[in-house]
A and B are shown apart, each in its own frame.
Chain A
Amino acid sequence: MNITLRMAWRNLWRHKRRTWITVSAMVFSNLLLVFMISLQFGMYRMMIDNTLKAFTGHTQIQRQGYNDDPKIRTSIDDIVILADDVRDSLGSKEVAARGISFAMTSSEQRSYGLQIVGVEPEYEPNVSSLPGLVKQGRYLADMDAEEIVIGSVLARNLRVKVGDELTLLGSGREGSIAAGIVIVSGIFESGSADIDRSMAQVPLGYFQSLYNMDGAGHTIVVNTDEISRVTELQSRVAGIIPANKQLEVLNWEQLQPGLKQAIQADMASAWFMYAVLIVLVAFSVLNTQLMSVLERTREFGVMMALGVKPTRLGSLVLTETFLMSSLGLSIGIILGIALTYYLTIAGFAYPGMEEMAERFNLPARMYPSLSVLSILLGPGIIFICSLVAAIYPATRLFFLQPVIAMRAV
C-alpha cells in the first residue's frame, strides 16, 4: 500500500474517539438522508400515481388549445372512433374517451353547479380509480343510459340517494339549451372532498346527445403501467393521431402543473432541512481536521524540513478526510439501505399522516422508494462537502514555515 495512504489511515486512528464521533455524525446523516430521500421519492410517486389514476391520467389527446382554454367547442370529432384506433394501435385497453362540460344540477330541494364528464363505461375503469370508488349503487353500465354517478358530498348537499332523479341544465355546443333528467346510479367517495363535491359522470353517448356534440368529445386519456415511461408513451401516441385534425398529446406535467409545483415546493423545503444537516456535518469534519492539522504542526514542519512540499502534505490531509468520509459513507449507506428496505416492505406512518393522506388522496401508509438516486444523492453531497470542508485545514499547510512549525509543541 502507498505510504501516504497508510499514513493517512493510521493518522485517523491516533485519536480514535474523535474520529469515531465525526464518522458517527456522517453515518447518522447518511442514514437519515437515504431514508428521508427514499421516503420523499416514494411519497411523490404515490401522490402522482394516485392523483393521476383518480382522474387526469398519464397522457391525454386534446384539440390544440383546449388545455389552456377549455371550451365545449374545442372538441375532437368522432372521438369514440379515434379512441378505438388508439387502443388498437397501442394494443392497450388503458385508453378512454371523455366529454367535459358544466351543468346546473337540481334535485327536488337544491341546485348546484358541477362539472359533467361523459365517459365510456366500458373503458373508464381502465384509466381511472373513480369507478372503483363507488360506495353506494353501481357505476355506469350503458353508453347511452340516462344515468349519473355523483360524489358523496354532492349527494349530501343535494339530499339525494341512489335511484333519485336529477335535472341537468346547461349550454350545448352550438349555444342551444342542454337539458335532461338522469337517475343517480351510484355515489362515489374519492377521498377528495373537492372531487366529491364538484364532479359527476354520465355515459359518453348520453353526454353527446345532451350537449349536442354530434359524436365529438374533449379528451382521450391514455395511461401506461409505469410513470417513468410517460415520455415514450407520449411520442408513440403523437405518432398515431391524425396530423390534420389539430390534435396534441399532453403529459401529466402539462395537464397538472400544480401537482409538479407542489412536489417541487415540498422538495425545496425538505432540501433546506437537509442542507442544515449537511452544513453541520461539514463543520464537524472541518473541526476534526483543523484540530488534527494544528496538533501535528511540528510533524508537518519536520516533513517540510526533509523536503516534502506543502502540496503533498495537503493531499495527506485530504486523503485522511477522504478515508474518514468513505467510512461514514459506506456504513451510513449500508444502514440506510437496511432500514429503508425494511420500510419498503412494512410501510411507514407518522402522526397527522391520515389528514395529509386524505387531502392528497394517498394511502394511510407510506412506502419509501429505494433507488440508486435516493441512495447516493444525499450521501454523495455529504461526501463532497466533507472534502470541501477539509480544504481549509489543508491550505493552512501552505503557509507553514518549517523552522517555526518545528518549534510548535
Chain B
Amino acid sequence: MSSIVCKDLRKTFQQGDETITGLDHVSIEIAEGGFVCLSGPSGSGKTTLLNAIGGLDTPDSGEVTIGSTRIDQLSKGELADMRLNKLGFVFQAYNLIPVLTAQENVEFVMQVRGVSAEERAKLSRSILQEVGLAGMEGRRPSQLSGGQQQRVAVARAIVSQPALILADEPTANLDTHSSAQLMDLFVKLNEHHKITFVIATHDVRVMRYAKRLIKMQDGKIVSDELQEQQPMAV
C-alpha cells in the first residue's frame, strides 16, 4: 500500500497580489519500505509536497496515489480516515496534546480508531518502551524534554502501525544527541517494521540517513539520488 506516486503536481498560493508556486509540475515515485529525504531551502516546496502526499492539502492539479488509492479524489472524511488508519505524522513542533499524558497522547489516536481500552493501554506502553520512554507514561508534555516529546510524537505516529510515516523537520528543535536517537529510531522502524519514511528536512545530518535524497528548489525537483545510509555518531 505504501508505494507513492505523484504525477505532475502543481500547487500555488496567493500572497497578496503575488502568486507563489509551491509545487511546479512535480512527479515522483516512492517504493514501499523506502527511506526518503526531501531537502532544500525554505520555500522550496518540501512541506507542500509532504502535505499533498498526506492529504493535508489539495494540489491545484496532478495526481497523488498511495497504494491503489487516488487520494486527491477523496472527500474530507475519506482523507481523515486514510490519515487515521494508514499514515503517521511527525511534526517539527511535536504537537502533542498538552492536557494529556504521554501514554494518553499515544492512546488518543487509537481511541479514535475504536481500539478497546485494554488493547490501547497494552499497545501504548509497549510502544513507549520501544521509543525509550518506559517509566514516563504519566508525564505531561510540559514535563518532558524536546527529544522526549518528539519520541512521544513518534510513538503516536507508529502505534497504529501505519505503512507510511511523513515527518516534517522532525529534528529542527532537537539537539544533536536527540536528533541522532530519533533518526536511529526511524531507521530501526524502517528496517524492522518495513515502514516507509518520507522526511522533509534541511538538516544535512538527517539527510545522511536517507536511502534516497530528493533535492527541491522553487517547487521543482532538482536532483533525485540513491545513497548509502550514513548514520551520525552519537
Contacts and interface: CB of A to CB of B under 8 A. Distances in A.
Interface of A: 2-4, 6-7, 10-11, 14, 298-299, 302-309, 312, 401-403, 406
A403 B49 CA distance: 12
Contact of B99 (A2, A14, A307, A406): A14
Contact of A403 (B57, B104, B156): B57
Given A305-B56, A406-B95, A3 B83 contact: no
3 closest Cβ contacts across the A-B interface? A307-B84, A10-B99, A307-B83
B107 interface: yes
B28 interface: no
A307 B100 contact: no
* Size class of the B contact interface (CB-based, 8 Å): 20 to 34
Interface centre among A10, A305, A309, A312 (most CB of B within 10 A): A305
A309 B56 contact: no
B109 interface: yes
A406 B93 CA distance: 10
Contact of B81 (A7, A307, A401, A406): A307
B59 interface: no
Interface centre among B51, B77, B97 (most CB of A within 10 A): B97
B102 to A, nearest CB: 13
B172 to A, nearest CB: 15
B80 A309 contact: yes
A5 to B, nearest CB: 11
A178 B156 CA distance: 101
A306 B84 contact: yes
A11 B111 CA distance: 18
Contacts of A312: 112
Contacts of A303: 97
A3 B80 contact: no
B80 A308 contact: yes
B56 to A, nearest CB: 5
Nearest to B157: A306
B56 A3 contact: no
B119 to A, nearest CB: 14
25 contacts: A3-B100, A3-B104, A3-B107, A3-B111, A4-B111, A6-B104, A7-B108, A10-B99, A10-B100, A14-B98, A14-B99, A299-B95, A299-B97, A302-B91, A305-B54, A305-B56, A306-B83, A306-B109, A306-B112, A307-B83, A307-B85, A307-B109, A308-B80, A312-B112, A406-B91
Nearest to A10: B99
A81 B139 CA distance: 88
A305 B57 contact: no
Interface in B134-152: none
Interface in B67-88: 77, 80-85, 87
A388 B230 CA distance: 58
Contact of B56 (A2, A14, A402): A402
Nearest to A14: B99
A308 B54 CA distance: 14
A28 B84 CA distance: 43
Contacts of B81: 307
Given A3-B111, A403-B57, A11 B99 contact: yes
B97 A7 contact: yes
A6 B105 CA distance: 12
B112 to A, nearest CB: 5
Interface in B185-233: none
B89 interface: yes
Nearest to A9: B99
Contacts of A307: 80-85, 87, 109, 112
Nearest to A3: B111
A392 to B, nearest CB: 20
A306 B99 contact: no
Interface string B93-123: 0010111100010011101100000000000
